[in-house]
Amino acid sequence: MKKNITALILGILTILPVRAETVLSPGGKVCVEAGVDANGTPVYSMRFEGKEVIRPSRLGFELGTGAPLLDGFTIHSVENRSFDETWTPVWGEEKQIRNHYNEMLVCFEQKGSARKMNVRFRAFDDGLGFRYEFPLQESLAHFTIREERTEFALTGDHTAWWIPADYDTQEYNYTCSRLSQIGSLSAAAIDANVSQTSCSPTAVQTALQLKTDDGLYINLHEAALVDYPCINLDWDAASLTFKSVLTPEMTADKAVMFAPRSTPWRTVIVGKSGADILASRITLNLNDPCALDETSWIKPVKYIGVWWEMIVGKSEWSYSHYPSIILGQTDYAQLKPHGRHGATTEHVREYIDFAAENGFDQVLVEGWNIGWENWFGCWKEDVFDFVTPYPDFDLKGLNDYAHSKGVRLMMHHESSAAIRNYERHMEAAYNLMNEYGYNAVKSGYVGDILPRGMHHYSQWAVNHYLYAVKQAAKHKIMVNAHEAVRPTGLCRTYPNLIGNEAARGTEYHHQGKDGIRHFHTCILPFTRLIGGPMDYTPGIFEMDLSKTNPNNHGKAEFTICNQLALYVTMYSPLQMAADIIEHYRRFPDAFQFIKDVAVDWEKSLYLEAEPGDYLTIARQAKGSSDWFVGSISGLSDRTVKLSFDFLEKGKKYIATVYADAKDANCVTNPQAYTITRYIVTNKSKLSQKIVESGGMAISIREMVPGENTKGLKKL
């Protein structure tokens, strides 16, 4: 132990900067220092309200060829500037966003080589963003990065909410532990029985949520991940330091750079409460403004779909069990169907009717196109063409029918991670969407990447995901990509990137009890959602999976009101009602909340938020006086104490409260709920019990003059 402490002290002493430049955030809360240490290594540190958050930490790179950019630097020059703008997102958690920071550009120059490496620091009152910039220079015109050597030296063994680093999946359950436990817990404890590819056992993914023993909340992530590999953080317990590990390519070098170039931003969001982390807009603000000239075609979407039934195993994506389909040659009309195909014309018509009756914008149909017989796991490059429907799916007829009812179909492109194949067919696939009037696509990257050996979050794959979004914009198509790299706020620049999955979503409930841990949705807003909205696909009303598919004996563990609240707590401009029609028909009064809830917001208030424990969020619908509240609980029952003081003074509202019934239980009685209507004003207060993995959802609308409110309780 003594040895460790001495090593730590010696380590700290060598990293202390010999010359330091300082930038303070506009309100003075965040202070960032940058300089070089005794070896000429660039270093930075950060304080929040005087408290150390990041101790002096090293910056730099190991290159593919040539001397590393790790030491021998001096500060050549420093530039400072202040910036303050308020911008209007096309859609979002609030109508307007303030982007206010002080900036310091530190230009480092390496003695001898004269190579320049600049680091731009932006100090916000709620955190820090910094990135490396390589100006155009002869000695570093194009180069490869073997590893980025960015460090985050922390001040203690904080509590962390984390998932293991993995170059190919983000679909893990979270673990809450001390930092020192990362790497020492069993695979079962951290739910790492999914293929964990080759990263160090002590490495984690970002966004990573931390809490210090004295109550500081810290979030580490990245912003504007463009043309660069996705970052992971490897914990070095001896020095209490996270060290960056980039996602590799097939060669030893992880990134190819052509100056002038910059890296993505590295972010450290800080606050005194969980709510401060959720209210931060640093990730969006560090992205470039909207790159699209015209955005009126981008609209938030509420949708249903032929989906959950395949996930639970009631029906199948494929049409036949024919072992090998050859695109353009196999004659489907000659194949014997297995009779369990979900996306049939007749069935999709039922969904269109249901969407029209209940005010949904779109119907997602998965399994409409040929190729599913050979999708992931077959290493098949020419797996889908994205334009040929199965013989029992009437592409034109169904689109015409949907449009006649004021509904659109949502396109589905499962690429099966055959990225080259997807790019080859992309233009034709988007043209087909334009021809039939689809304006949104859910894409997917299930399975191992083809070309073989590539990783989902490498520079090459990251470039593909953005290419798909940019090409889609040319066709006025919105993209919701599943299994793509975790978002980093790029939806500010490309607001047609309307959704991403990039985490463990509702689909894992098909595994029953162990699919999703009870506290999962109380963690996601602090981790996955820091980068942008998630297509979590909530709204499952039937937890006994045998009622969807008699052969599935699993039981998902949450209450109906938990599912309702997720429409507010899991921010997304794209929200699905994921269950099958029959189950919504059984609970029409609870379903009403899903029909009513908004998907675009004027304002969002994070009333209480503790990672893994609970969340209560109130949001005002954009351009309306309606409000919606969602409250969820993680691992224990709790009483929510809600003040309606966010409502406009002097006005009366009707609040419809959907809450777990007294005897509700996420395992034994998950469908027990109460619906109570109250008259409320901004002085009203509500005390409501919710259960473990349970919740409460409230819709609030202004009272209409002369409205009959007989029998309604005043709160």
Positions annotated as catalytic residues are 507
- The Cα–Cα gap between 299 and 496 comes to 9
283-312: contacts with Ca ion (CB under 5 A):
none
Q: Does 528 bind ligand NOJ (CB under 6 A)?
A: no
Q: Does 482 bind ligand NOJ (CB under 6 A)?
A: yes
307-326: contacts with ligand NOJ (CB under 6 A):
307
By C-alpha distance, which of 519, 517, 530 is closest to 556?
517
| Binds 660: which of Ca ion, ligand NOJ, none (CB < 5-8 Å by kind) | none
By C-alpha distance, which of 651, 682, 650, 675 is closest to 591?
675
| Binds 222: which of ligand NOJ, Ca ion, none (CB < 5-8 Å by kind) | none
Min separation Cβ 504 and Ca ion, Å: 8
By C-alpha distance, which of 374, 472, 456, 457 is closest to 423?
472
- The Cα–Cα gap between 390 and 409 comes to 16
Q: Which position among 226, 446, 607, 635 is part of the footprint of ligand NOJ (CB under 6 A)?
A: 446
* DSSP of 639-701: EEEEE-TTSPTT--EEEEEEEE-TT-BTTTBTT-EEEEEEEE-TT-EEEEEE-TT-EEEEEEE
CB closer to ligand NOJ, 255 vs 481: 481
Min separation Cβ 442 and ligand NOJ, Å: 7
Q: Does 694 bind ligand NOJ (CB under 6 A)?
A: no
Q: Does 387 bind ligand NOJ (CB under 6 A)?
A: no
Q: Which position among 444, 447, 532, 694 is part of the footprint of ligand NOJ (CB under 6 A)?
A: 444
By C-alpha distance, which of 319, 411, 306 is closest to 349?
306
CB closer to ligand NOJ, 109 vs 309: 309
CB closer to ligand NOJ, 507 vs 557: 507
CB closer to Ca ion, 505 vs 670: 505
Supply φ then ψ for residue 677, to 5 degrees: -105, 135
Q: Which residues pair with 208 in a beta bridge?
A: 220
Q: Which position among 147, 249, 309, 414 is part of the footprint of ligand NOJ (CB under 6 A)?
A: 414
Q: Does 501 bind ligand NOJ (CB under 6 A)?
A: yes
CB closer to ligand NOJ, 280 vs 521: 521
- The Cα–Cα gap between 508 and 545 comes to 12
Continuous H helices in 197-344:
274-279, 282-285, 308-312
490-529: contacts with Ca ion (CB under 5 A):
501
User: Looking at 187-195, 361-369, 482-490, 553-561, which segment touches Ca ion (CB under 5 A)?
Assistant: 482-490
Min separation Cβ 346 and ligand NOJ, Å: 21
Min separation Cβ 190 and ligand NOJ, Å: 21
| Binds 378: which of Ca ion, ligand NOJ, none (CB < 5-8 Å by kind) | none
Q: Any long-range contacts for 388-392 (C-beta under 8 Å, 24+ apart)? A: 388/327, 390/319, 390/332, 390/341, 390/343, 391/319, 391/332, 391/333, 392/319, 392/337, 392/341, 392/343, 392/344, 392/345
- The Cα–Cα gap between 673 and 659 comes to 6
Q: Which residues pair with 620 in a beta bridge?
A: 603, 627
Min separation Cβ 29 and ligand NOJ, Å: 39
Q: Does 626 bind ligand NOJ (CB under 6 A)?
A: no
CB closer to ligand NOJ, 249 vs 448: 448
Min separation Cβ 482 and ligand NOJ, Å: 4
CB closer to ligand NOJ, 249 vs 501: 501
Q: Does 125 bind ligand NOJ (CB under 6 A)?
A: no
* DSSP of 6-45: HHHHHHHHHHS-SEEEEEE-TTS-EEEEEEE-TTS-EEEE
Q: Does 341 bind ligand NOJ (CB under 6 A)?
A: no
431 to each of 387, 392, 436, 573, how far by Cα in Å? 9, 22, 9, 24
With CB under 6 A as the rule, give the number of residues binding ligand NOJ. 8
Q: Does 579 bind ligand NOJ (CB under 6 A)?
A: no
Q: Which position among 366, 373, 579, 613 is part of the footprint of ligand NOJ (CB under 6 A)?
A: 366
Question: What six digits make up the tokens of 565?
Answer: 């609240």
Is there a contact between 498 and 533 (Cβ–Cβ < 8 Å)?
Answer: yes
| Burial of 21 per CB tally in 10 Å (0-12, 13-18, 19+) | middle
User: Looking at 401-409, 476-484, 527-535, 601-609, which segment touches Ca ion (CB under 5 A)?
Assistant: 476-484
In the complex, the residues that contact ligand NOJ under the rule CB under 6 A are: 307, 366, 414, 444, 446, 482, 501, 507
**Contacting positions for Ca ion (CB under 5 A):** 482, 501
